[in-house]
Structure 1
Amino acid sequence: MAPPATQKALVITEVGKPLELVTDWAVPQPGPDQVLLKVTVAGLNPHDGKTREWGLFAPKLPAVIANDVTGTVVALGPGVTKYQIGDRVVSQPEFRGNYAQNGLQEYAVNDISAGCKIPDSITDDEAASLPTNIIAPLVGLFATEHGLGIPAPWTEGAKSFDYKNTALLIIGGGSNCGKFAVQLAKLANIGTIISVGGFDEELKGFGATHVLDRHGGEEAVLERIRKVVADDLIYVFDAINPPETLVLGMKALSSTKKGRLARLLPTHPADKSTVLGKKAGFDVVDVYGSSQAQPNLAYPFWKRVPEYLTSGKLKPLNFVVKNGLTADNVNMVLDGYRDGARVTKTHIHL
């Protein structure tokens, strides 16, 4: 049966105001290298709250949000052979205002390279825990320009890179992006994977070699880090800190070897003035976790995701479910992000 011409969708009509339900939103049409999905799960993340409150990824209004999407293929774009009608697919929409791909609507377009078929052993909810929260650390760890530049394990550069003797510090390892950063580091066989924050048993189950208490003040945490890496650390991935509190990662970097810190919250430039004694210097790079913006890295990764999931090399994260494409369901979650509440990753079932 052909998809309808219009559909239900939740839209931002005014920045700073609750989402509203509309019933006459146009159903998008898939183009080349695209398919149309009947959406089953739309996953929400903190950036969705920032989009509602600040217009972060909403260059024009009205706007549909949600960048973790799963669905069933109902139409193929011209020449598409990767999928068949009825396949279950997980998708990461782009962030550039092409709302046809986002999840809070009944039908959404998928760029076939920015996602994959969901293995039979994996539920739609498990798959929907991946896109936003795994692509950000994928770029943060492995991108050359907008990340730490560690070679992805399937690339040519991996053949000569010394993963075993490499140390990686992940600040905010207990966050969803931090948990996937640990898993990706383990996937690459990085020898020393240190998380600041998070639950010891969970993160060591994901592959962390050290899980450090984040409490007690900056100097106490630095001392814990240096007991593991001494003055040799050159790779830091910070999943949680805005510029005002980025200093821990910068100070943890080596004073004699040039280091690199990749950050997820680049709201404004990092203040390096309090970080002294770094004779070789260091770089702070801003991570943009978009599959479409990093196709040479993300698309080969998505090809491998089904095997990583079925083999257990990647483990989905926890989530809670709200049933129904209703404004109340979504606005309640986004209110929690706005108000600084502890929010478990929430999936809207359509």
Structure 2
Amino acid sequence: MSNIAVVIPAAKAPLEVKEVEVYTPGPHEFLVKNEVISFIPVEAKIAKLALIPIPYPAILGLSYGGTVEATGPEVTNFEVGDKVAVQKRFSQVGPQYGAYQRYVVAGDDTASKVPAGVDLVDAATLISNLTTIVGLFGVRLGLNRPKVDGTAAPVGKKVLIYGGSSSVGSLAVQWVSQAGYDVVTTTSPKHKSFVSKLGAVHVIDHTQEPGALVKDLKASGPYDYVVDTISLPQTVAMNAQVVAAQGGGKVYATLPPFGPETLPEGVIREFASWPEVLREEDKTGLEKWTYETYFPQALAKGRLLPQPVEKVSGGLTKGVNDALDKLHKGVSGVKLVVDPWE
């Protein structure tokens, strides 16, 4: 058994395909035969722009799905042969944890079993932003947990989730609406049919002129929380106007500012590494429940709708780089995946 990986040797350097070791999992870890790599936009920002400092050389990639090949000490909830979806933590340092290879070491705390009958690709794409969602909405905002069975009782609070067709936004709309909150979100007409199925009470066209968009956003409020899952300067500025009209407060963002920004008086952008917020501030066992109970049961019951998938051909040799190029240029309403064995 041999292993092949896509390695980035230095910041912004061209990717290289290399033979690497087949790793031995440590305590609370297991080895996965990787069958599908799922991409999220931040990976292109790391590879192309070195947006987040990491040690080099590195094997990138944050989410994937496959079959358990071997288990390390103290692993009790996974066994050889299980189908799993995995999300890597940013805090996991070492080439063994990166998704851009055929055999990957997974931690048993951010992985879920994939129920029989569930498409592994769907599970791998859905899990890719799970800790961001749980860290932001479940821990920092303290929202209720979503219901696995039935319909949650109405909470009587409204949440604006800007960017309902995005990778983070589409999962966020489902998580928050399944917890009983009224969700208002945005999308383009192209993706309205998909976004309308996620559970929002109202979907607003974000392609309209900015002034009209802000007017529509305000009219659908007021909101208890405003979350911008796109977090570009122009989207934060518009969401800040909505918050200012309510008397001030926070725009919760999934990216830090790209540079100096001026927001209306009384409005601030709140950004954190939401996955690390979950790890550091979770006092209720929410993360464990999410990976062991909510995610596999929601998959089995068909309660989570994945984004449409676009498979990028070429495997590790060509597909990974092509997928990162596509992400860097910008994709809308789809999740890119690569088969590492192609």
Instruction: Give the shorter-chain TM-score range.
Output: 0.7 to 0.9
- Residue 30 of structure 1: SS of its match in structure 2? coil
- Residue 4 of structure 2: SS of its match in structure 1? strand
Matches within 5 A, 1:1-350: 4=1, 7-23=3-19, 25-57=20-52, 59-96=54-91, 97-144=93-140, 148-153=141-146, 163-190=154-181, 192-198=182-188, 199-229=191-221, 232-243=222-233, 245-253=235-243, 255=245, 259-268=249-258, 271-273=261-263, 275-276=264-265, 281-290=266-275, 294=279, 296=282, 297-303=286-292, 304-323=294-313, 325-340=315-330, 344-350=334-340
| Aligned AA (1:317) | Q
Question: Hey, what's the Cα distance between the residues in 2 that align with 1:79 and 1:249?
Answer: 46
1:205-251, Cα deviation, whole Å (9 max, x unpaired) = 1101111111333321121122222xx32311101122454111111
Cα 1:318/1:7, change in 2 over 3 Å: same
| Aligned AA (1:123) | D
Question: Hey, what's the Cα distance between the residues in 2 that align with 1:37 and 1:137?
Answer: 24
* Higher mean displacement: 316-325 or 118-127: 316-325
- The answer to whether the 8 A contact 1:40-1:70 is kept is yes
| Aligned AA (1:139) | G
| Aligned AA (1:51) | I
- The answer to whether the 8 A contact 1:38-1:74 is kept is yes
- Residue 118 of structure 2: SS of its match in structure 1? coil
| Aligned AA (2:8) | I
Question: Hey, what's the Cα distance between the residues in 2 that align with 1:119 and 1:264?
Answer: 30
- The answer to whether the 8 A contact 1:68-1:103 is kept is yes
1:279-313, Cα deviation, whole Å (9 max, x unpaired) = xx454321424379527343321122111111222
| Aligned AA (1:104) | Y
Q: Cα offset for 1:83?
A: 1.0
- The answer to whether the 8 A contact 2:168-2:229 is kept is yes
- The answer to whether the 8 A contact 1:10-1:325 is kept is no
5+ residue gaps, structure 2: none
Give the match for residue 157 of structure 1: none
User: Percent same amino acid among aligned pairs?
Assistant: 25
Cα 1:265/1:21, change in 2 over 3 Å: same
| Aligned AA (1:53) | K
* Higher mean displacement: 286-295 or 203-212: 286-295
Q: Cα offset for 1:181?
A: 1.1
Structural RMSD (CA): 2.5
Q: Cα offset for 1:93?
A: 0.8
| Aligned AA (1:207) | G
- The answer to whether the 8 A contact 1:261-1:284 is kept is yes
Cα 1:333/1:343, change in 2 over 3 Å: farther
- The answer to whether the 8 A contact 1:7-1:106 is kept is yes
* Higher mean displacement: 314-323 or 166-175: 314-323
1:300-343, Cα deviation, whole Å (9 max, x unpaired) = 21122111111222122221224553332111121222334658
| Aligned AA (2:32) | L
- Residue 35 of structure 1: SS of its match in structure 2? strand
1:3-25, Cα deviation, whole Å (9 max, x unpaired) = x4x521111113223311101x1
- Residue 179 of structure 1: SS of its match in structure 2? helix
Cα 1:244/1:323, change in 2 over 3 Å: closer
Cα 1:245/1:226, change in 2 over 3 Å: closer
1:95-138, Cα deviation, whole Å (9 max, x unpaired) = 13333122111111111110110011211101111222333233
Question: Hey, what's the Cα distance between the residues in 1 that align with 2:170 and 2:246?
Answer: 29
Q: Cα offset for 1:26?
A: 2.1
Q: Give the total of aligned pairs.
A: 328
1:172-197, Cα deviation, whole Å (9 max, x unpaired) = 1121211111111111111x211122
Question: Hey, what's the Cα distance between the residues in 2 that align with 1:343 and 1:334?
Answer: 16
* Higher mean displacement: 180-189 or 10-19: 10-19
TM-score by length of 2: 0.87
| Aligned AA (1:348) | V
- The answer to whether the 8 A contact 1:101-1:109 is kept is yes
